[in-house]
Amino acid sequence: MKRIMSYKIAVCVKQVPDPEFFSKVKLDPKSGTIIRTGIPSIVNPLDRHALEMALDFKDKYGAVVTVISMGPPQAVEALQVALAMGADEAYLLSDRVFAGADSLLTAEILAKGIKELGGFDLVFCGNIAVDGSTGQVPAQVAEYLGCPHITHVSEIELKDGKLEIKATRDFGYTVYEAQFPLTIGVNKYSQAPRNMTVSGIMRAVEYKMNILTSEKVKIAAKNALEGSPTRVLGMEEVKGGRKGLILTDEPKEAVKKAVERLVKLGAV
Amino acid sequence: MDFAESRGVQMLRELCREFAEKEILPHIEELKHGSEFPYHVTKRYGDLGLIGLTVAKKYGGNMMGHVAAMAATEELAYHYPTLGTHLRGYRLVPQVLEHGTEEQRQRWMPKLMSGEWMGSLATTEPQGGSAPGTCMTTCRREGDYYILNGRKVMITRGGDSQLVLISAREGDKIHCLGITKDLNGRSTGRRESMAGVSAFSPVDEIIFEDTKVPAENLIGKEGKGLGPLLDGIGAVGRAGGAGTCLGIARWAYETARKYAKERLIGGKDRLLDVNSIRYMLADMDLRVEKAKLLCFRFAWQLDQGKTAREVGREGAMAKLFASETAVYNCYKAIEIHGGYGTTEEFKIIGRLHSALDMIGAAGADNIMRNTIAQAQDRD
Amino acid sequence: MGIGAVCVFAEHAEGAVKKYSLEKINKAKELAAELGAQTAVLVCGSELEGIAETLAKTGVNKVYAFDHPELKLYQPQAYADLIADWARKEKPEIMWFSSSNIAVELASRVAAKLETGLTAHCIGLELAEVEGKKIVSHSLPGWGGNFVVKIVCPEKRPQMATVSAGISSPAEISDKATAAVVWAPVEIQPEQLKIKAVKNVYDDKKSDGLETAERIVAGGWGMRSSGSLEMIESLAKLLKAEIGGTRPLVDCNWIEETRMIGVSGKTVSPKLFISVGASGQPHYTTGFAKSGVILSITDDPKAPIFDMCDIGIVGDARRVLPELIAGLETVL
């Protein structure tokens, strides 16, 4: 199939704490953001699906794939993984001014960064981040970009210059037809995200990372924390709950006691 | 001296971890008990670029380097020992082929790099042990062919590899020849069923009965066959073996530590807080660090361009110590796990088996001691 | 309408209002009473007479129906434009949406259009006094322990939220309609259909089963070391239970997304819930906190899940599950 066009695709990726270490994560009571020091980070799993969708689109129809991340300097690591998987370019939006952004501010910053880079035909985002994020960013980025959106997308195909999209619903899925440009929130893509390769890794570590600060990406507010419409009022410990029978015996003994109790509680 | 691991190597470890966890471990039982060799696994090594870690770019590799390869081998072996063995084996033949002709490399390298083909090295013989110099497989030149007679034993994946590099003797000359699978007169004999480090990496006997090998399969010069083979064995072979042992040793330590952390005695005290356990773990940790330093120092020297011969002593130290550490740490891990140490579900016995397999492999431990002693003699 | 109403965007399917929408309507009435405010329900679709009538009987003050053939299927641009335009005109104080795929997306876009705050996946809604004003305090599952985080939107309006199922009991449908139904004028321009829904495809294999199941066995990230979900499947088969799990298992393709339990997945309340190999992060536990009896098996003695279960076994699932299966066989 002759590739006449080369589409410009942006993929937003986020660096999140590794779910394996979730139990060690603490919340900062003032900003409501997560304290991540000392906890290994990974690329948000759904962002990898988003990137795979973009790279698959590139393989099929021809595209240049740019990954963008908003985060602290450490987020460069996530961008490097994306480059090693096959992304062409990478940009980090990083500035102290961006800290403490809620989803609306995050969307504003990402959208302004995207505009600064000249806009794209397609913007992919992972639908939701594992660190308990809101799932709101894709639709809100689209609003700031002034382009249509669709989320929970599991498949995308190009047919006669138009996009054919499957969006997951609780009854199955809805088929959409769309034009460019479009912002897409990606659910689990039908194809597993590809691995990094050794040559990808070598390219990623040589790549001169592009950093965009608030100089190029100006937000309306003084800083993101103050500009965010929502804020944390406080944290409250959940009291009561259930006082359970916790068994630390050897499996055979523990199970014996557990089954006894299950029968007593009428659960079996 | 900068001992920090580069970002590239960190990412490479991540690549290996994902490959092992997502593609191999979920299918481990099928792979172990499959009736056919899983060639698709070799292909994946090729796809990911692992085979090309220590192969020059002009030959289709990526030359990320020996330090990178050491980390990859360790990481793969950590997740499953045989994965380290595979990486070592796939990288071995390309290294020997650097002594070959351009024509041979054009013929064989692309397939080896992509993982479409597997390579093996066959020097070990029933009477001669692994020392290539005592080779008793004979060959004689007849026109455009060499005719081979003899047996090679304990050849990792010898039966399934598409290209086997062997040593063969013509009078007092030793040649290195490339044997492809299709040659008449070559057959696979006894297959050792080994679990451990040879899981889905069977160890075979190869029998030559008047096998006709095309003369253009001669690697290096006539009578100069040992050099190329020893070069491969002493560099990629040795480093691969050391890295595999290092991975096993680290696994044993981390597994024991995790167990001790979670195991409660009497429902409240952690096993980890018992002094004797703490000291054992400290010891195991220290040994892994020592092995690491020896292994990566050797790899670094290879990256500086040293030949296998030049750093024979350092390579021997790395392999010997890593091998001993693997066995020791597995043994201590069993001790720390108490009664569960030898049960199948905790997997330590399997790792110990792999560690024991490695004693005689990639440079048998006692031969390594000999190498170190010989280096001392040179003073 | 007047300034300051508490509004709910209601969802419907096959001629019936969704249960979780009725729950939010009930909650809206409760908060509105405290605030002395009006309540309103918004609904979009086509041929909405039946739905509008039902909603008019839930005890709210007004029902706004956006009825148009093009709205039969969810259209991302058109729906968002209609709701946002309505909000700019009617200036509600509070707007709530559900946590369904459509609602989260719609609420997000509307919030961005109105440049206001949207709080996601709330598990609790109450009023709090902040700087002399009574505003909504949204409760979200907290991090790293048994915390609930309270989020507020002090200045921007409306205060928007997407709300998890189970926030309240469903509003009762009385015999007579007490609300006025306003049939809002709907005009849809071609540029509002640059992305256009073509058709819905219904999947029979989808499990609605989880939400009505009596027993559920769910696996967490800790199951990775087992290599497969085989043991969980055996236990579920024995108990005639449905299978669920956490997001990492979805990402590994071990379970379908529809079996994910937690704030961004399903909320369940079976008679028996068994969690295996999960530490109990609030995003997960909130999804089954209202179950009858909760049994948890995981190897970390400090796991938060042990603070919210009825029976906990500290141990390696690989060793405990076979024993549990054997033990249950004798009593079932």
Report the number of distinct structural domains present in chain A. Answer: 1
256-295 in chain C: CB under 8 A from chain A: 257-258, 263-264, 271-272, 279, 281, 283, 292-295
Q: Mean of the per-residue pLDDT values for chain C? A: 90
User: Do C101 and C241 sit in the same domain of this protein?
Assistant: no
The pLDDT of residue C191 is above 70: yes
Buried residues in B252-284 as b, exposed as e (16+ CB within 10 A): bbbbbbebbbbbeeeeeeebbeeeebeebbeeb
Residue with tokens 């979009």: C44
**A247 within a domain of the structure (yes/no):** no
Q: Mean of the per-residue pLDDT values for chain B? A: 92
How far, in Å, CA of A154 to CA of A184, rounded? Answer: 10
How far, in Å, CA of C138 to CA of A203, rounded? Answer: 45
Helix B348-359 to helix B238-262 angle (10° resolution) is 160
> By mean pLDDT, which of B14-18, B35-39, B307-311, C293-297 is the weakest?
B35-39
**A249 within a domain of the structure (yes/no):** no
Q: Give the gap in angstroms from C-alpha A24 to the nearest C-alpha of chain B.
A: 15
By Cβ distance, the residue of A104, A135, A244 closest to C117 is A104
User: Do C16 and C118 sit in the same domain of this protein?
Assistant: yes
What percent of chain A has a predicted confidence (pLDDT) above 70?
Answer: 91
Q: Give the gap in angstroms from C-alpha C123 to the nearest C-alpha of chain A.
A: 12
Q: Which of C316, C320, C321 to mutate to test the interface with B (most CBs of B within 10 A)?
A: C316
**C202 within a domain of the structure (yes/no):** no
pLDDT at C2: 54
Q: For B77-106, how does the pLDDT look when each residue is reduced to its tens digit (9 = 90+)?
A: 999 999 999 999 999 999 999 999 999 999
pLDDT at B165: 94
Q: Taking CB atoms and an 8 Å cutoff, what residues of chain C touch B21?
A: 224
Which CATH number does the domain housing residue C62 bear? Answer: 3.40.50.620
> By mean pLDDT, which of B181-190, B230-239, B284-293 is the weakest?
B181-190
pLDDT band at A188 (very low <50, low <70, confident <90, very high): confident
Q: Where are the alpha helices (DSSP H) in chain C?
A: 19-35, 49-56, 76-90, 101-114, 209-212, 230-239, 247-251, 282-285, 317-331
Contact B257, B251 (CB under 8 A): no
Contact B176, B152 (CB under 8 A): no
Q: Taking CB atoms and an 8 Å cutoff, what residues of chain C touch A135?
A: 104, 108, 120, 264
Q: How far apart are the first and last CA of chain B?
A: 27
Q: Give the residue from C193, C218, C244 where a domain finishes.
A: C193
pLDDT at A32: 62
The pLDDT of residue C116 is above 60: yes
Cβ of A201 within 8 Å of Cβ of B52? The answer is no
Q: For the residues B163-177, what does the mean pLDDT come to? A: 93
Cβ of C319 within 8 Å of Cβ of B28? The answer is no
Cβ of A254 within 8 Å of Cβ of C315? The answer is yes
By Cβ distance, the residue of B26, B264, B345 closest to C318 is B345
Cβ of C228 within 8 Å of Cβ of B28? The answer is no
**C114 within a domain of the structure (yes/no):** yes
Cβ of B12 within 8 Å of Cβ of A77? The answer is no
Residue C130 φ/ψ region, left for φ over 0, alpha for ψ in the -120 to 50 degree band, beta for the rest: beta
Q: For the residues C86-111, what does the mean pLDDT come to? A: 95
pLDDT band at A29 (very low <50, low <70, confident <90, very high): low
Q: For A250-261, how does the pLDDT look when each residue is reduced to its tens digit (9 = 90+)?
A: 899 999 999 999
All chains having 3 or more CB pairs closer than 8 angstroms to chain B: A, C
How far, in Å, CA of C241 to CA of C237, rounded? Answer: 6
Q: Give the gap in angstroms from C-alpha C91 to the nearest C-alpha of chain A.
A: 17
How far, in Å, CA of A120 to CA of A110, rounded? Answer: 12
By Cβ distance, the residue of B8, B47, B264 closest to A201 is B8
Q: Give the gap in angstroms from C-alpha A205 to the nearest C-alpha of chain B.
A: 6
Cβ of A233 within 8 Å of Cβ of C137? The answer is yes
From the CB of residue C207, how many other CB atoms can be counted at a distance below 10 Å? 17
> CA-nearest residue of chain C to A188?
C251
How far, in Å, CA of C81 to CA of C75, rounded? Answer: 10
Cβ of C252 within 8 Å of Cβ of B345? The answer is no
The parent domain of residue C65 ranges over: 6-193
For A246, residues 6+ apart whose C-beta sits below 8 A from its C-beta are C306, C311, C312, C313, C314
Q: Which two tokens stand for residue C156?
A: 């921007």
User: Do C218 and C151 sit in the same domain of this protein?
Assistant: no
Residue B166 φ/ψ region, left for φ over 0, alpha for ψ in the -120 to 50 degree band, beta for the rest: beta
- Partner C contacted by B338 (CB < 8 A): no
How far, in Å, CA of B355 to CA of B342, rounded? Answer: 15
**What DSSP letter does each residue of A19-48 carry, written as one string?**
GGGGGG-EE-TTT--EE-TTS-EEE-HHHH
User: Do C50 and C159 sit in the same domain of this protein?
Assistant: yes
Cβ of C320 within 8 Å of Cβ of A135? The answer is no
φ, ψ dihedrals at C138, nearest 5°: -95, 125
Spatial CA neighbour of B201 closest among B88, B71, B350, B69: B88
In eight-state DSSP terms, residue B231 is H
Q: Which two tokens stand for residue C215?
A: 């027993």
All chains having 3 or more CB pairs closer than 8 angstroms to chain C: A, B
Contact A229, C117 (CB under 8 A): yes
**Rounded to an integer, what is the distance from CA C77 to the centroid of its chain?**
22
Task: Tell which wins on pLDDT, B183 or C50.
Answer: C50
Spatial CA neighbour of C294 closest among C230, C216, C229: C216
User: Do C35 and C103 sit in the same domain of this protein?
Assistant: yes
φ, ψ dihedrals at C290, nearest 5°: -95, 15
- Partner C contacted by B268 (CB < 8 A): no
**A155 within a domain of the structure (yes/no):** yes
For residue C239, the cross-strand partners are none
Which CATH number does the domain housing residue A116 bear? Answer: 3.40.50.620
Contact B195, B350 (CB under 8 A): yes
Task: Tell which wins on pLDDT, B182 or C8.
Answer: C8
**A62 within a domain of the structure (yes/no):** yes
Task: Tell which wins on pLDDT, C290 or B132.
Answer: C290
pLDDT at A39: 84
Task: Tell which wins on pLDDT, A18 or A90.
Answer: A90
The pLDDT of residue A41 is above 80: yes
Contact A102, A219 (CB under 8 A): no
Cβ of B22 within 8 Å of Cβ of C227? The answer is no
On whether ipTM exceeds 0.95, the answer is no
Cβ of B62 within 8 Å of Cβ of A195? The answer is no
40-99 in chain C: CB under 8 A from chain A: 73-74, 76-77, 80
The pLDDT of residue B76 is above 90: yes
**A156 within a domain of the structure (yes/no):** yes
All chains having 3 or more CB pairs closer than 8 angstroms to chain A: B, C
User: Do C144 and C220 sit in the same domain of this protein?
Assistant: no
**A260 within a domain of the structure (yes/no):** no
Q: Is B171 exposed, middle or buried (0-12, 13-18, 19+ CB in 10 A)?
A: exposed
φ, ψ dihedrals at C263, nearest 5°: -60, -35
User: Do C119 and C223 sit in the same domain of this protein?
Assistant: no
pLDDT at C214: 87
Q: Which two tokens stand for residue B6?
A: 């580069």
Q: Taking CB atoms and an 8 Å cutoff, what residues of chain A touch B64?
A: 198, 201-202
From the CB of residue C16, how many other CB atoms can be counted at a distance below 10 Å? 11
pLDDT at C165: 81
Residue with tokens 């004797």: B276
The pLDDT of residue C303 is above 70: yes
pLDDT at C307: 86
Q: How far apart are the first and last CA of chain C?
A: 58
Q: For C242-283, how does the pLDDT look when each residue is reduced to its tens digit (9 = 90+)?
A: 999 998 888 777 888 889 998 777 888 888 999 999 988 877
Q: How far apart are the first and last CA of chain A?
A: 60
Q: Taking CB atoms and an 8 Å cutoff, what residues of chain A touch B269?
A: none
Four-point Cα dihedral A184, A185, A188, A194, nearest 10: 60
How far, in Å, CA of B367 to CA of C204, rounded? Answer: 66
Cβ of B26 within 8 Å of Cβ of C318? The answer is no
Cβ of A202 within 8 Å of Cβ of B8? The answer is yes
The pLDDT of residue A124 is above 90: yes
**What DSSP letter does each residue of A155-205 carry, written as one string?**
EEEEETTEEEEEEEETTEEEEEEEPSSEEEEE-S-SSPPPPP-HHHHHHHH
φ, ψ dihedrals at A240, nearest 5°: 70, -105
Q: Give the gap in angstroms from C-alpha A158 to the nearest C-alpha of chain B.
A: 27
pLDDT at C250: 82
How far, in Å, CA of A9 to CA of A118, rounded? Answer: 11
Contact A220, A96 (CB under 8 A): no
Q: Which two tokens stand for residue C247?
A: 């997001």
How far, in Å, CA of B330 to CA of B274, rounded? Answer: 20
pLDDT at C258: 82
Hey, what domains does chain B have and what are their CATH numbers?
7-114 (1.10.540.10), 119-219 (2.40.110.10), 226-377 (1.20.140.10)
Which CATH number does the domain housing residue C267 bear? Answer: 3.40.50.1220
In eight-state DSSP terms, residue B333 is H
Q: Give the gap in angstroms from C-alpha B248 to the nearest C-alpha of chain A.
A: 22
Find the length of chain A: 268
pLDDT at C324: 95
pLDDT band at C143 (very low <50, low <70, confident <90, very high): low
What percent of chain B has a predicted confidence (pLDDT) above 70?
Answer: 98
φ, ψ dihedrals at C195, nearest 5°: -115, 130
Q: Which of C75, C95, C151, C195 to mutate to test the interface with A (most CBs of A within 10 A)?
A: C195
Q: Give the gap in angstroms from C-alpha B11 to the nearest C-alpha of chain C.
A: 20
Integer-rounded Cα radius of gyration of chain B:
21
> CA-nearest residue of chain B to A206?
B8
User: Do C186 and C247 sit in the same domain of this protein?
Assistant: no
Between the CA of residue A165 and those of A120, A125, A155, A182, what are the distances in Å?
18, 15, 6, 11
User: Do C188 and C284 sit in the same domain of this protein?
Assistant: no
**Three-class SS of residue C138?**
strand
> CA-nearest residue of chain C to B24?
C227
What percent of chain C has a predicted confidence (pLDDT) above 70?
Answer: 96
From the CB of residue A211, how many other CB atoms can be counted at a distance below 10 Å? 13
pLDDT at A239: 62
- Partner A contacted by C108 (CB < 8 A): yes
Sign of CA dihedral A164, A168, A174, A176: negative
Q: For the residues A157-179, what does the mean pLDDT come to? A: 93
**A243 within a domain of the structure (yes/no):** no
The pLDDT of residue C130 is above 60: yes
310-329 in chain C: CB under 8 A from chain A: 310-316, 319-320, 322-324, 326-328
Task: Tell which wins on pLDDT, A188 or A82.
Answer: A82
Cβ of C112 within 8 Å of Cβ of A143? The answer is yes
**C199 within a domain of the structure (yes/no):** no
How far, in Å, CA of A128 to CA of A136, rounded? Answer: 8
Contact C38, C62 (CB under 8 A): yes
Between the CA of residue C239 and those of A163, C291, C314, what are the distances in Å?
45, 16, 21
User: Do C117 and C225 sit in the same domain of this protein?
Assistant: no
Q: For C25-34, how does the pLDDT look when each residue is reduced to its tens digit (9 = 90+)?
A: 999 999 999 9
pLDDT at C278: 92
Report the number of distinct structural domains present in chain C. Answer: 2
Residue type, B339: G
By Cβ distance, the residue of B21, B26, B264 closest to C301 is B264
pLDDT at B9: 98
User: Do C188 and C303 sit in the same domain of this protein?
Assistant: no
**Rounded to an integer, what is the distance from CA A221 to the centroid of its chain?**
24
The parent domain of residue A23 ranges over: 7-227
Q: Where are the alpha helices (DSSP H) in B115-267?
A: 226-232, 238-262
Helix B66-79 to helix B81-97 angle (10° resolution) is 150
The pLDDT of residue C315 is above 70: yes
Q: Which of C229, C251, C299 to mutate to test the interface with B (most CBs of B within 10 A)?
A: C299
Residue with tokens 């709701």: C83
For B34, residues 6+ apart whose C-beta sits below 8 A from its C-beta are B200
Integer-rounded Cα radius of gyration of chain A:
22
Cα angle for residues B64, B14, B231 (degrees, 5° grid): 35
> CA-nearest residue of chain C to B343?
C319
Q: Give the residue from C130, C158, C193 where a domain finishes.
A: C193
**A94 within a domain of the structure (yes/no):** yes
Q: Which of B22, B48, B340 to mutate to test the interface with A (most CBs of A within 10 A)?
A: B48
H or E segment at B71? helix B66-79
Q: Give the gap in angstroms from C-alpha C166 to the nearest C-alpha of chain A.
A: 17
pLDDT at A30: 67
pLDDT at B269: 85
pLDDT band at C55 (very low <50, low <70, confident <90, very high): very high
Cβ of B48 within 8 Å of Cβ of A205? The answer is no
pLDDT band at A3 (very low <50, low <70, confident <90, very high): low
Spatial CA neighbour of B200 closest among B329, B37, B64: B37
